[in-house]
Amino acid sequence: MRVKLEKSVLDYFFELIVKSTYFVNWTELSKSVSCSRWTIKDIKQNKRTLPKKVFEKLLLFIDSNKHDYFLSNAEYLDDFWAIKNRWDKKLTMLRYKLEKKNGLYYLKLRARLCGYLAGDGAIASRPNTSVNSIRYDIKFAPDNLNMAESFNEAFYKLYGRKFNIIKCRTGNNYQLNGSHKVAYFDLTRIAKFGVHNWRVPFDFLKTDPMKVEWLRAFFDCEAYVGKNKIQLQSVNKAGIYDIKFLLDGLGIEVSKIYDYRRKQKNWNINYLLEIRRKTSLKKYLNLIGFNHSYKRYKLELQIAGMAESGRKRHARANLHQNF
């Protein structure tokens, strides 16, 4: 850990040290704080920051009534270069950079990843017995290349890494697998994951753009675009009710939630939610939409078909009135 002081505060800091009765010369000062006088010179000239231990020792040269002033003006930084293990250093630097990525753009990227992982993904930690450590696995299995690229884009811009997109031998499915400690802890503090445990992270989704980003990613994974409807189906009852609440809040009218019991008695009950009205489908398309290229195409086709049917009905009604 290192301490950074603004130039004016730093000048005042050393001015008080020099005036102190305990100060003899720079050599004796450097011995007192256990660092070289050249390091002290660099710190004084603002060429480098203060190690936390040196800062605490230098404070002893100053009257205690001034301590609060310097402590309140101190900015604490992670000391990347004091970490010997290169992986720990890399993780520390990444955490530090990640803390600065707190604007709306990066919050939307986190929302997107949480939506994807709740739908077609998995995130979990497990022991890696071969090297006596912990693995932090992140997996995503989309059925559309656009989704895979969208996931990779968000992950790279947040955590500086891209996964290999592996095309499965059968079907139009893809696999993105890897391990990432910082991403694991960053995402699991935001939301719950797992088929039965995922929930909409309301505490995190503070703005409408973030809600839209989460919904688009989740619907990419789980929604079915059928004839004049979008249908969502899940075994997670609480999660489905969360989504209904989220859509209602965005002004998109949805159906009530239906129970769907499978023929096999041991299978879980599925819960169905549908968007049916033409106005709601159009609002969903314009406000949320899909990254999934085929689902977006199907929805646009359905809305166009509904509009054409409406025009035909209107034309028939006018023709009937004329006669």
pLDDT of amino acid 229? 92
320 or 147, which is more confident? 147
Going by pLDDT thresholds of 50, 70 and 90, the confidence category of residue 177 is: very high
217 or 26, which is more confident? 217
pLDDT at 193 over 90: yes
- As a whole number of angstroms, the distance between CA 317 and CA 187 comes to 55
Length in residues, the chain? 323
Where does CATH 3.10.28.10 sit in the chain?
A: 97-306
Instruction: Note the Cα 241 to chain centre separation in Å.
Output: 22
Please tell me the class of the 2-77 domain: mainly alpha
Structure-token pair, residue 221: 């994974």
Residues 68-118: pLDDT tens digits? 888 888 887 765 555 556 666 677 777 778 888 889 999 999 999 999 999
22 or 176, which is more confident? 176
Where does CATH 1.10.260 sit in the chain?
A: 2-77
Structure-token pair, residue 224: 């079915």
pLDDT of amino acid 317? 56
Structure-token pair, residue 109: 């990227």
Going by pLDDT thresholds of 50, 70 and 90, the confidence category of residue 297 is: very high
Task: Tell me the three state secondary structure of residue 271.
Answer: strand
Q: Which CATH superfamily is domain 97-306 in?
A: Homing endonucleases (3.10.28.10)
Residue 228's φ and ψ, nearest 5 degrees, are 60, 35
**Residue in this structure with the two tokens 């270069």, named with its chain if needed:** 81
The CA–CA distances, whole Å, from 75 to 2, 14, 100, 206 equal 8, 17, 14, 28
| pTM of the entire predicted model | 0.71
pLDDT of amino acid 289? 94
pLDDT of amino acid 27? 86
pLDDT of amino acid 311? 61
Q: Which residues pair with 176 in a beta bridge?
A: 140
